[in-house]
Structure 1
Amino acid sequence: MKNKLLFGMVLLMASSTSYASVKDKKAMRNVDSNILAEVSKVKSSCGNSALDVTVDWDSYKNMISSNGEKLNKDNYKSEWVISHSGQRTVAALEAITSICGSDEDYKEELAKLKKIKITAKQDFLDSKNNFTLSDNTLNIETGHKMTRRASDYTDKIKSLF
């Protein structure tokens, strides 16, 4: 009985969404580092007193887990999903920095942001980012597969204000 229970616990842990390969973990750390560097630019350009950017890595792990067949069909690796998410997030932050540098009215509003929350869209084939604003929090639901530039997000971010 003990062995069956132990095996069940090991199986449950192995199938848990908290699992990430070494390559995934390295990609996440790299993304977090790139985001942190870009956040300091946003604060400097926009004048935010505080700005906390969090990535819900569990949402990415869940998406990767539930879209295994789609990823395999495209020969797409999980660390690429993570890396592209980071690139898209940095592009959104670059867009915010650019907006603040070119328009005082938007800068005044963007300076009020206190949090940016990043989550993954749950369909790997959905390539568009969604932006929503709730009080002083910008929510970004990232799409997949394609890289983006800051200019791809400028109008979407401006439309929230």
Structure 2
Amino acid sequence: MKKTLLTAAICTLLATTAHAGVKDKKAIKAAEAGIATEIAKVKTACGNAALEVNVSWDEYKAMIKANEAVLKENREQTQWIYAQGGQRTISTLESLAKICADDEDYKEEIANLTKVIVTPKAEYKDYKSEFTLDGTVLHAKTGHRMTRSASDFTKRLKALY
């Protein structure tokens, strides 16, 4: 009887882990599809010859592991975290496109942007995203726990230029 229960518990654990893995992969794929759409919009609005966006999903995975207790306490699911990371990246790109549409001077500068590198903040409770500019590379260190819209990032992005 004990062997049967143990076997059932292990099978359930493996099935749950596999299921979570699939949900995570689907959340990342959906995020990447949305990001690709926004990249095209930024190129059109700002005139970037090339623009690459790299989201460090491995760093998100490490952040999730490091914040396991907090996530469990808040009943957060990992696929939600990946989806929010994607959504915040999309909002960043939307903000850049809106800035270009509204102001020719910013458009001229943002057109030089060649890469956006997105990493998560280490602490899950840290909700505020931070941006830095290194030449033609925008570094976005994303916060967590809530979604953001393009207007939430506009002032901070403009301040980089």
TM range (shorter): 0.7 to 0.9
**How many pairs are equivalent?**
142
Q: Are 2:136 and 1:136 aligned?
A: yes
1:89-139 CA-partner distances (Å, limit 9, x unpaired): 111110000000000000000000000000011100000001000010000
Q: Are 2:56 and 1:64 aligned?
A: no
1:42-77 CA-partner distances (Å, limit 9, x unpaired): 000000000000111111000000101000100001
Where structure 1 has 5 or more consecutive residues not aligned to the other structure, the ranges are 1-19
Could you tell me which residue of structure 1 aligns to residue 114 of structure 2? 114
Could you tell me which residue of structure 2 aligns to residue 94 of structure 1? 94
Could you tell me which residue of structure 2 aligns to residue 26 of structure 1? 26
Where structure 2 has 5 or more consecutive residues not aligned to the other structure, the ranges are 1-19
Could you tell me which residue of structure 2 aligns to residue 3 of structure 1? none
| Matched AA of 1:160 | L
Give SS of 1:153's match: helix
Give SS of 1:146's match: coil
Distance 2:136 2:83 in 1: 27
Q: Which 4+ residue blocks in structure 1 deviate beyond 3 angstroms?
A: none
Distance 1:144 1:83 in 2: 11
Distance 1:36 1:52 in 2: 9
- Using the size of structure 2 for normalisation, the TM-score is 0.87
More helix by share: 2
Give SS of 1:63's match: helix
Could you tell me which residue of structure 1 aligns to residue 5 of structure 2? none
**Shift, 1:21, TM fit:** 1.0
Could you tell me which residue of structure 2 aligns to residue 47 of structure 1? 47
Q: Are 2:133 and 1:151 aligned?
A: no
Distance 2:21 2:64 in 1: 12
**Shift, 1:22, TM fit:** 1.1
- Using the size of structure 1 for normalisation, the TM-score is 0.87
State the percentage of identical aligned residues: 46
